[in-house]
Structure 1
């Protein structure tokens, strides 16, 4: 089990908070070469919970090695999102952990420009661990082609509903979302992705341990 950061956009953070998002798909860093199939196996150890392992194979037999995914079942991921820390009293941007943290995903002034809001946003990549307010625990990992996503999986990716998604069904909405994040044509490329299923805890990762203690 490892603790790792993971980035989410503001709409996906809102989906996490609303309980709509329990999956995320990320590009596999090393795409298997053409003709390689990903074989998923369910391992059922005696006296333990089932888990999944993967092999890469070609028509000539085993390809060798493991599918390169960074995140494993049981890992805890602390969510990074667009944010700002403000000092107490004068509410000026500060890098001190003794501050009030504002989050762009839920700040009522998020859509105002920086001058009207009174402070700029910091990109999610610069969010430190102590400022994170959400933790996800990975319960399952799958390696699959992007276009293999099912309707149930698209719903679990945080589909906001037909009205909010301009009446698009879940899979079409997800196709649009993927291209929006990764660029035009990214869906048509149909890359191999790691599909992570998780549970959401609405707490800082280090506060979870304190509460448990």
Structure 2
């Protein structure tokens, strides 16, 4: 068993916490010239499974490995009204938990006017601050646009059962320069995302989520992605 860091934004951390997310997709990064022929064959539909199996042999993540989650966080040490900082009582806060109910002081002990937390990006979260651990149950390769409706739901998209009296899935590009101006997609709708046609609301929701993170161009390139199924576990003893 190996451990690997993995980044999730706050929305996806919340989806994991609520047991709505049990799958994630990560870009396949081609850093080796010898894999180019395999990628060309996959996109051309030639010996697809054979080529994927060849690429799988080079991957560092296997079933049974553990992801330790990096999330947006902040570290604070308490400062009292006399300006004394107690560095022995460092506290860690996580953005997914919301704004903490604390009063903050500067180094002189003066109460700060701006009480908003200055969050640090997840990439900087140290290993000892990790609170989420995910055990990899399955690993596979697929093209991004091959995602199924069930897998789209497993990606942790926001789903409602009361969108105009029926099921709906969130449009993560809502409010931006995008073809859909509604907050949700109808789950059983038939949508075209950019040049992609005939997708139900679940897949449309996932595609909008992907574009909100990676940009519209990434979706249209239909990249090869690693697909990980995972389950939440307690902190490993050896971690």
TM-score, structure 1 as length reference: 0.74
The residue that corresponds to 2:51 in the other structure is 56
Does 1:127 pair with 2:125?
yes
After superposition, residues 74-113 of structure 1 pair within 5 angstroms as: 74-90=64-80, 99-108=90-99
The residue that corresponds to 2:62 in the other structure is 72
The residue that corresponds to 1:171 in the other structure is 203
Q: Which has the higher contact order (CA 8 A, sep 6+)?
A: 1
What is the RMSD computed on CA atoms of the aligned residues? 3.0
Query: Cα distance 1:76–1:115, how it changes in 2: closer, same or farther (>3 A)?
Result: farther
Q: Is the 8 A contact 1:97 1:130 kept in 2?
A: no
The alpha carbon displacement at 1:67 in A equals 5.3
TM-score, structure 2 as length reference: 0.67
When the two structures are aligned, how many residues end up with a matched partner?
Answer: 181
Does 1:15 pair with 2:15?
yes
Which secondary structure does the structure 1 equivalent of 2:131 belong to? coil
Compare the two structures and name the one with the higher helix fraction: 2
Give 1:35's match in structure 2, choosing from 41, 44, 47.
Answer: 41
User: Take 1:174 and 1:17, find their aligned partners in 2: how far apart are those partners?
Assistant: 19
Structure with the greater alpha carbon radius of gyration? 2
Query: Cα distance 1:28–1:131, how it changes in 2: closer, same or farther (>3 A)?
Result: same
Query: Cα distance 1:2–1:159, how it changes in 2: closer, same or farther (>3 A)?
Result: same
* Unpaired segments ≥5 residues, structure 1: 40-54, 58-62
**Cα distance per residue 1:155-210 (max 9 Å; x no partner):** 00002104571322211011011111111221111111000000013x5x3xx428
The residue that corresponds to 2:190 in the other structure is none
The alpha carbon displacement at 1:118 in A equals 4.7
The alpha carbon displacement at 1:138 in A equals 0.2
Give 2:223's match in structure 1, choosing from 168, 181, 191.
Answer: 191
User: Take 1:149 and 1:69, find their aligned partners in 2: how far apart are those partners?
Assistant: 21
**Cα distance per residue 1:83-115 (max 9 Å; x no partner):** 01111455x9x9x795211111222369xxx96
Query: Cα distance 1:134–1:80, how it changes in 2: closer, same or farther (>3 A)?
Result: same
User: Take 2:150 and 2:55, find their aligned partners in 1: how far apart are those partners?
Assistant: 31
The residue that corresponds to 2:143 in the other structure is 145
